Structure 1
Amino acid sequence: MLSRHKASPERDETSRPRDETGAAQGQFPAPRLGRFVLTAALLCYFSVTLLNILSSHNSVAEVAAATLCLLGLLGLQLLHSRPGAQLAPARVKALTLCVQALLTYLPLLVFRTQWGSMAGFLAGSLLLLLPPVSAWSLYAVVGASMLAPPLLVDLPVVETFYYVQSTLLTGLVVFGLTRLADLIRVLHETRGELTRVAVTQERLRFARDLHDLLGYSLSAITLKGELIHRLLPAHPVRAKAEVEDVLTMSRQSLADVRSVASGYRDMSLEEEISSAESVLNAADVRVVARVRTGPLEREMDTVFATVLREAVTNVLRHSSATHCEIAAERSAGQVWLTIVNDGAASGYRDPSPHSGSGLGNLQTRLGVFDGELTAAQGADGTFRLIARVPDREGPDTAAIGPSGIESAA
């Protein structure tokens, strides 16, 4: 016995294939649907007027003239309702509005009340094309002008009011549907632009994370490899220990690549300091580390660890330092990280075309916390990198955790 399973509406909607505009296949994209509704409404209004004329026993010549005038008005209204019509030159708008006014009022002399609803399109066009003050004033004038045709045929007051009210209502419908179609189009384009911006930001994040996470690891692996090459002949035992470090770093680099692909990886400033000490010691750089920040927010801890990693990478790649000082502390409502080394060459600039944008990446990360990054070379040959972030947790936070660590290697 076969059983039938009825798919839920949610499943049907989400599983329906969609095109590049985001609309489900078989459906109109939103901007086209908005224009379709507007055009259909205009055609309905004009067809009603044409039916009124055909049912009033007019001559063939009068029906033909009315049809030509209706086609002209329809073309002008579509022109006035197109996207960006209000941006047309003032002379063009004045000319088309004058032609529409002639095609609106001249047939009134022949068809009287049968033609009355056409004035609503002139009122709508005025609202679409002219500045608000002038547009609404003329909109009221067009509505008031529709008092004349009913009075010429001695219609009751109620029917006279109906023609005025229908003219004003038609103008509002034309104006509202046109603006709604434009709004749908703008929102649709904005959604596409936001999608492109999101993709660009994700690409920048990916590039920034690869640089910040892997630049240090690859530099450290290169340095360790050179050290192993020197140690192998005379110190094989120490070389073996360095190989273990390289294997650990390579595994971490692989994990970093995976974390970049899936999101952002949390890092610890204290752990990064321990790693920096190991790498810098292998490069014969004496390290003095001082950390008195207490526990940090997870995101802030990651940012400071990233700053330290970039600073150590620059020490390894761009300088011949023999001493490096790392200090992290809370003071004056700020959290500070300072890295100083004595190996900056005067006027140094990396000539490589792929020298990277590490400091720019760090400034972007610190900017999320309203922080600042400063890098300057001193007269004594030292290079100082300072990262500063406002302390959002207050001065009591430092007292909750450990008082800090201090080491020299």
Structure 2
Amino acid sequence: MPHHDEIDTAPPATVPGGATSHTPDVLDLPAPRLARVILTVALISYLSVTALNLVGTNLPTPLLLASLGCLILIFALQLRHSGAAVRRAPVRHRALTLGTQALLTYLPIVVFHSQWGAMAGFLAGSLLLLLPGRWAWPAYGFVGLTMLVPPALDNLSIQETVYLAQSTLLTGLVVYGLTRMAELVQALHDTRSQLAGLAVARERLRFARDLHDLLGYSLSAITLKSELIRRLIPLHPRRAMEEVSEVLTISRQSLADVRTVSSGLRSMSLEQEMRSAESVLEAADIEVRMEIRLGTLGQEVDSVLAAVLREAVTNVLRHSRAGTCVLTAVQEGGRVRLSVFNDGVDRSYRDESPHSGRGLGNLQARLQSTHGTLTVTRGPGGTFELTAETLEQPPRRLANPDDADLGAQDPAA
């Protein structure tokens, strides 16, 4: 059963039109902390502009200190509203903080008029962040319209009036956009970590499946041939030596298979596996009938069906008292069908081993990667048939699917 090394790599993702989608370089992505720093610096910059305007108006010291205190409170509220946790807070809590920010925005306008107008941009941004969409945008626009009033109180020109309303709306968009950017960057980094963990879990699953497929078959074959050798030694020592050579060949191949699995290199031949299965089944005193009508198979299909055959033969050896086994591999009409039929199935038998595996479930998942199906059928008189059918050349490789489970001959199903 020779194996050919083949690196099993997933193809690059494709997008409509045939273009290849590339994952952005990790170094090009800003860190979540940097995104939060950018947001904080922007808020401080807007706050500083308002503070400088107030300082330049020659306000009495008590009034100036009160205004600076209001600015600090608004800044603290805005930082809270720009955090992800506040959107998970109860509605009553959000209404309280938004109401407080609205009071701190509009009450000082009575005293400072247009000099305080920049703070309305913070309120507009908070409304976009915390209110549902159907309320957020009308409320945002309403805040912009209210900023037409302070310039009128100061008898400012139309240009200055429009400028204040426009700058309020622009500030709200900047606050909203930078906040959402910081959240999306954090979500991107979290998702990347989850995908890395998922890739590790999928690789572990692949490794476990391959080991199950390889070692379950090989160890069953070694056990059967060892029992045969023990019976042959007293009567047919020469035949026993031949069987010992076969056991050595199987064990060496198993070691090589384990190494290829650990390296991610794996390829098998269905036709070669059928010849090997015939030898193993005959060693167990099972009458074997085979039909092989195969052309050229895709390498992935060839390996998957060979793994199906190994698991099916392992089940025949471990979980039945078969006297006859029929192996069929037929390729026609662009599809390949593998069938393993055996008798001697004990319906009451169930392997109680805690590590008996879930081979048929693994094979169902493997076949899904080649657009194939796996069916099992129990017949009268303790007969059992496993049939795997797939395309001879799958159109594309799918991601590893989740495990499936089949309640059939496999005792772990």
TM-score interval w.r.t. the shorter chain? Answer: 0.7 to 0.9
Q: Does 1:53 align with 2:54?
A: yes
Instruction: Summarize deviations over 1:274-313 as a string: whole Å, max 9, x none.
Output: 1011111111111111012322111111111111111111
Partner of 2:93: 92
SS across alignment from 1:373: strand
Partner of 2:235: 234
Q: Does 1:257 align with 2:258?
A: yes
User: How large is the Cα RMSD of the aligned pairs?
Assistant: 2.0
The TM-score normalised by the length of structure 2 is 0.86
SS across alignment from 1:199: helix
SS across alignment from 1:356: coil
CA positional deviation for 1:355: 1.0
Partner of 2:19: none
Q: Is the 8 A contact 1:23 1:30 kept in 2?
A: no
Give the aligned residue type for 1:257. V
Q: Does 1:71 align with 2:82?
A: no
Partner of 2:110: 109
Aligned residues: 371
Partner of 2:298: 297
Give the aligned residue type for 2:349. Y
SS across alignment from 1:389: strand
Q: For residues 28 and 262 of structure 1, what CA distance do their matches in structure 2 show?
A: 31
Q: Is the 8 A contact 2:301 2:392 kept in 1?
A: no
Give the aligned residue type for 1:222. T
Q: Does 1:213 align with 2:214?
A: yes
Partner of 2:223: 222
Q: For residues 180 and 160 of structure 2, what CA distance do their matches in structure 1 show?
A: 30
SS across alignment from 2:43: helix
SS across alignment from 2:118: helix
Partner of 1:119: 120
Q: 1:28 to 1:54 in 2, by over 3 A?
A: farther
Partner of 1:187: 188
Matches within 5 A, 1:276-315: 276-315=277-316
CA positional deviation for 1:84: 3.7
Partner of 2:372: 371
Give the aligned residue type for 2:118. S
Instruction: Summarize deviations over 1:46-102 as a string: whole Å, max 9, x none.
Output: 122112211221111111111111111111111111014333222222221111111
Q: Is the 8 A contact 2:298 2:393 kept in 1?
A: no
Q: Can you give the 5+ residue segments of structure 2 that lack an aligned partner in the other structure?
A: 1-24, 396-413
CA positional deviation for 1:227: 1.4
CA positional deviation for 1:206: 0.6
Q: Is the 8 A contact 1:345 1:381 kept in 2?
A: yes
Moved over 6 A (4+): none
Q: Does 1:80 align with 2:81?
A: yes
Give the aligned residue type for 2:154. V
Q: Which has the higher contact order (CA 8 A, sep 6+)?
A: 2
Stretch of structure 1 that moved more, 127-136 or 323-332: 323-332
Q: Is the 8 A contact 1:268 1:301 kept in 2?
A: yes
CA positional deviation for 1:369: 2.1
Q: For residues 336 and 90 of structure 2, what CA distance do their matches in structure 1 show?
A: 58
Partner of 1:156: 157
Partner of 1:137: 138
CA positional deviation for 1:330: 3.3
Q: For residues 232 and 383 of structure 1, what CA distance do their matches in structure 2 show?
A: 34
Q: Can you give the 5+ residue segments of structure 1 that lack an aligned partner in the other structure?
A: 1-21, 395-409
SS across alignment from 2:377: strand
CA positional deviation for 1:331: 4.8
CA positional deviation for 1:391: 4.9
Q: 1:47 to 1:367 in 2, by over 3 A?
A: same
Q: For residues 127 and 370 of structure 2, what CA distance do their matches in structure 1 show?
A: 50
Q: Does 1:342 align with 2:319?
A: no
Q: For residues 82 and 323 of structure 1, what CA distance do their matches in structure 2 show?
A: 70
SS across alignment from 1:233: helix
Partner of 2:403: none
Q: For residues 258 and 322 of structure 1, what CA distance do their matches in structure 2 show?
A: 35
CA positional deviation for 1:390: 3.9
Give the aligned residue type for 1:98. G
Give the aligned residue type for 2:319. H
Instruction: Summarize deviations over 1:231-284 as a string: whole Å, max 9, x none.
Output: 122211111111111111111101111111111411111100110111111111
Percent identity between matched residues is 58
Q: Is the 8 A contact 1:336 1:387 kept in 2?
A: yes
Q: Is the 8 A contact 1:86 1:130 kept in 2?
A: no
SS across alignment from 1:353: coil
Partner of 1:203: 204
SS across alignment from 2:235: coil
Give the aligned residue type for 2:190. E
Give the aligned residue type for 1:382. T
Q: Is the 8 A contact 2:297 2:392 kept in 1?
A: no
Q: For residues 258 and 317 of structure 1, what CA distance do their matches in structure 2 show?
A: 25
SS across alignment from 1:265: coil
Q: For residues 272 and 60 of structure 1, what CA distance do their matches in structure 2 show?
A: 92
Give the aligned residue type for 1:368. S
SS across alignment from 1:232: helix
CA positional deviation for 1:393: 7.5
Stretch of structure 1 that moved more, 295-304 or 29-38: 29-38
Q: 1:377 to 1:99 in 2, by over 3 A?
A: same
Give the aligned residue type for 1:247. L
Partner of 1:7: none
